[in-house]
Amino acid sequence: MTEPFYQPLDNEHLLFEHAWRHRMPVLIKGPTGCGKTRFVQHMAHRLNLPLYTVACHDDLSAADLIGRHLIGAEGTWWQDGPLTRAVREGGICYLDEVVEARQDTAVVLHPVADDRRELYLERTGEVVKAPPSFMLVVSYNPGYQNLLKGMKPSTRQRFVAMRFDYPAVEGEARIVAREAQVDLALATQVVRLGQALRRLDQHDLEEVASTRLLIFTARLIAAGMPIREACLACLAEALTDDPHTVTALMDVVDVYFA
């Protein structure tokens, strides 16, 4: 498998490796599309560990993580969930946007995130002890947090925390150039546009232009799509449903791609 590309921004590699070697779970917080998932994929490859990624949502329950009994023509059998498989195999279980999951998942995570490092399967009565190589990693976007979906202090304090953000222009341009397969000049122009759009907080955008969206924009431009159409589809319309806000965003596009 090809190593997932990731451009380090600081010492996050070192911190992650130290946490893994000392059997500490990691919490990664940062805005959408800033590289959290790619970083975990990269580190799993670097450490040669199996990776189980779970995209958390409102209906995700503890059973979805642990496993459940299934019924078929040959009878009933137990099927491990992604967290259980990661614990058994000594891999990484990555819970993306963990605060979106139901509250009962915290009860399951606590014993694997502290010194016990064990998973209790209530339905089968089995206690699965995590091997040294197992690691629990969770992430969330602090911008989405509210009183109903915040991470409890009792859960948060079990983790080593890392904060991610969008890179500076030069670093982000190198990422866009590499991922979109475009020259650095075009990538830099797209990144400068993206950073200008991120400063438009007065338009009450729920999300700002992510590095992911900038990569999409550069790819379409490189493929021959007119610049304005690529920016409209990948940036303005992707960021808002309000037509007036779309117009305002496109005014910024016209300034940077006159």
0.75 surpassed by pTM: yes
> What's residue 160's pLDDT?
96
CATH number at residue 77: 3.40.50.300
User: How does DSSP assign 94-150, residue by residue?
Assistant: EEETGGGS-THHHHHHHHHHSTT-EEEETTTTEEEEPPTT-EEEEEE-GGG--SSSP
In a domain, 134, yes or no: yes
In the block, residue with structure tokens 């304005």: 228
Q: How far apart are CA 130 and CA 117, in angstroms?
A: 6
Are 20 and 124 contained in the same domain? yes
Phi-psi region of 78 (alpha: psi -120 to 50; beta: other; left: phi over 0): beta
Q: Is the pLDDT of residue 239 over 90?
A: yes
Q: Which of 40-44, 185-189, 198-202 has the lowest mean pLDDT?
A: 198-202
Q: How far apart are CA 198 and CA 168, in angstroms?
A: 12
Are 179 and 157 contained in the same domain? no
Are 140 and 84 contained in the same domain? yes
> What's residue 147's pLDDT?
42
* pLDDT one-digit tens code per residue, 127-179: 999 999 999 999 998 876 544 466 788 888 999 999 999 999 999 999 999 99
Residue 63: which domain range?
12-163
Report helix, strand or coil for 69: strand
> What's residue 88's pLDDT?
97
